[in-house]
Amino acid sequence: ADKDFYVCSLSNLVNIYKGLCMPADLPRFYLDLADLRLESAICLFHQRFSTNTVPRWPLAQPFRYLAHNGEINTITGNRQWARARTYKFQTPLIPDLHDAAPFVNETGSDSSSMDNMLELLLAGGMDIIRAMRLLVPPAWQNNPDMDPELRAFFDFNSMHMEPWDGPAGIVMSDGRFAACNLDRNGLRPARYVITKDKLITCASEVGIWDYQPDEVVEKGRVGPGELMVIDTRSGRILHSAETDDDLKSRHPYKEWMEKNVRRLVPFEDLP
């Protein structure tokens, strides 16, 4: 493979623009961004502030599906587990899938590796909401108030994928859904504002564009382990409680876990 060659996207739903330039110069770098005829219901934007690395094209975001603020501190383990589990990834949608292994790059940025894994899950038929709850789950293990059905869902997931832990704030889109996900550490800000003209802005801070306070109908934050989704097809805003209610009911996870899992008893708890 050519380390200097990268296909940004072959999607019929999403255009991806990358540039080593200031944001104000993007319309001059890509002339179609200055054309008022270019319209989109979704715009995902990432501006990189290089604090400890030199700006380079391979680091430019967004990638094919996501953009990311922070770092994935578990990236070494995530990459190694992805390699170890290569044999587990099978789908009738891609009969020769294993010819494309390894599925997750081990030399690029942590963000690009996560994007590789998300792309793999989506190519296998998983929707982006299900995939992100698998990759970036909330802190569920020690939450005694969690619904048992939802606990079973995350417990089931944990047997197939380790969390990609940050601190990380992640935004993503597949052309239909636009979403913002905060990892369970919650150490990256993610705030949203909804204005009367039904424009939804989610960013690392408020006030990234000029609007009047009386135009705001709702504002809030995406909390630790939470996922906020906008479905452009149905016109709905989905918060974590709604997406989790849907996900836990797709399959009988609790029944599966009760029938098929045998847990070891700690030595000190033996009779």
pLDDT given for residue 56 in this prediction: 82
State the average pLDDT over residues 111-117.
Answer: 95
39 in a structural domain: yes
pLDDT classification of 260: cutoffs 50, 70, 90 = very high
Could you read off the pLDDT of 206-223 as tens digits, one per residue?
Answer: 888 899 999 999 999 999
Could you read off the pLDDT of 156-173 as tens digits, one per residue?
Answer: 999 999 999 989 999 999
Bridge partners of 194? 200, 218
Give me the domain span that covers residue 70: 23-269
79 in a structural domain: yes
14 in a structural domain: no
pLDDT higher than threshold 70 for residue 51: no
pLDDT higher than threshold 70 for residue 187: yes
pLDDT higher than threshold 70 for residue 1: no
200 in a structural domain: yes
The per-residue b/e assignment along 71-86, b for 16 or more CB within 10 angstroms, e otherwise, is ebbbbeebbeebeeee
CATH of the domain at 80: 3.60.20.10
151 in a structural domain: yes
Asked whether 148 and 48 are in contact (CB, 8 A), the reply is no
Q: Into how many domains does the chain fold?
A: 1
Angle at alpha carbon of residue 116, lines to 115 and 120, rounded to 5°: 115
173 in a structural domain: yes
pLDDT classification of 271: cutoffs 50, 70, 90 = confident
Output helix, strand, coil percentages for the chain, rounded to the nearest 5. Answer: 30, 15, 55
pLDDT higher than threshold 70 for residue 144: yes
6 in a structural domain: no
13 in a structural domain: no
pLDDT higher than threshold 80 for residue 2: no
Can you say whether residue 70 is alpha, beta or left, with left for phi > 0 and alpha for psi between -120 and 50 degrees? left
pLDDT classification of 21: cutoffs 50, 70, 90 = confident
